Amino acid sequence: MGTYAVRRTGQGLIVVIVVSFITFIEAHLLPGNPARAILGVHASSAQIQAFDIENGYNKALPIQYVDYAIRLLRGNLGFSYVLNQSVASLLAERLPATVILVGLSVLVSLIAAIPLAVLQAVRRNRPADYVLTGFTFAFYSMPTFWLGLMFVMLLAVKAHVFPPIAPQGGPVQILQHPQGLVLPVLTLALGNIAAFSRYLRSSLLDNLAMDYVRTARAIGSSNRRALYVHVFKNALAPVITLIGLSLPGILSGALITESIFNYPGMGLLYWNSALSQDYPVLLGVTIVVAVGTVAGSLIADLLYAVADPRIRYGRPA
């Protein structure tokens, strides 16, 4: 376990460095230069020059990158000139809300996907399998924003069951109004159920075809026992990595979901910053989201190695 964990963590660190390159390149993709993008079209060349010197944009690119990396390591994610606030403090406000939204919807997707997948695997290629697959795929194939707005129309405007807007404020206020979380969480979760249950279904089917199932049946275990005791354990272990792999997709969904429900998380912050062309915030959110994703998949892989010893001793992934 030790060497695997060290090797995998090392890979994670390299990926984080790659991520910092990506955001650095993103910053320099800006038309003109960062100073022009931040100060606007009316800035004089003297202002631009002063800004460049103040922020080190007049130095050679490799030196700029080193400066950037050092700033990042110190937790300095930049400054939002639009909101007049440091990006780090903005993120500290918004990050917990997104963690709540994403965490809850992963949980809901799993709770729905596991029984669905068992049903689909056991009734493989029968009507029940087709109907369930059809339904989950319909949700998966629907643009997230349409699904969310249909929920608002049906359950908030017409039926008044849930509020149409997410609770505002910090994580405490959000958790104090769970009814406001229902629609955002559902919107984000429904699309994932298809992906999760499809993956679990094929994982269950793979395991059902294994020799150990035949052995279990041969020594007198019932079908039910073979499924729930032997197959279940083996088929559910990959779910840990599945969650890790799904994180970027779910975060993309969160960007849309938060925009629909005015949910005060990082996705909404990102969209608003895109509309106001607040590049420091966009880059800061990108790096935090990406590092979070890397950390998430690292944790998932390490947990999976604990659950399945074959990973630790096998070929490096």
17 vs 111, which CB is nearer to another protein? 17
Q: Which of residues 143-202 bind another protein (CB under 8 A)?
A: 143-146, 149, 153, 157, 191-192, 195-196, 198-199, 202
Among 82, 83, 99, 291, binds another protein (CB under 8 A): 291
Task: Compute CA 61 distance to the chain's CA centroid, rounded to the nearest angstrom.
Answer: 31
The span from the CA of 16 to the CA of 10, in Å, is: 10
Count the Cβ atoms, other than its own, within 10 Å of residue 314.
Answer: 11
Q: Which of residues 197-256 bind another protein (CB under 8 A)?
A: 198-199, 202-203, 205-206, 209, 241-242, 245-253, 255-256
289 touches another protein (CB under 8 A): yes
* Residues 18, 315 contacting (CB under 8 angstroms): no
Number of residues engaging another protein in binding (CB under 8 A): 66
313 touches another protein (CB under 8 A): no
* Residues 260, 146 contacting (CB under 8 angstroms): no
Count the Cβ atoms, other than its own, within 10 Å of residue 102.
Answer: 24
Q: Which amino acid is at 302?
A: L
The span from the CA of 208 to the CA of 213, in Å, is: 6
18 touches another protein (CB under 8 A): yes
275 touches another protein (CB under 8 A): yes
293 touches another protein (CB under 8 A): yes
Write the DSSP symbol of residue 85. Answer: E
Shortest reach from residue 29's CB to another protein, in Å: 6
118 touches another protein (CB under 8 A): no
68 touches another protein (CB under 8 A): no
Per DSSP, the residues of 156-224 read IIIS-SS-SSPPPSSHHHHHH-HHHHHHHHHHHHHHHHHHHHHHHHHHHHHHHTSHHHHHHHHTT--HH
Among 6, 9, 89, 130, binds another protein (CB under 8 A): 130
Binding site for another protein (CB under 8 A): 11, 14-19, 21-22, 26, 29-31, 130, 133, 137-138, 140-146, 149, 153, 157, 191-192, 195-196, 198-199, 202-203, 205-206, 209, 241-242, 245-253, 255-256, 259, 270-271, 274-275, 277, 282, 285-286, 289-291, 293-294, 297
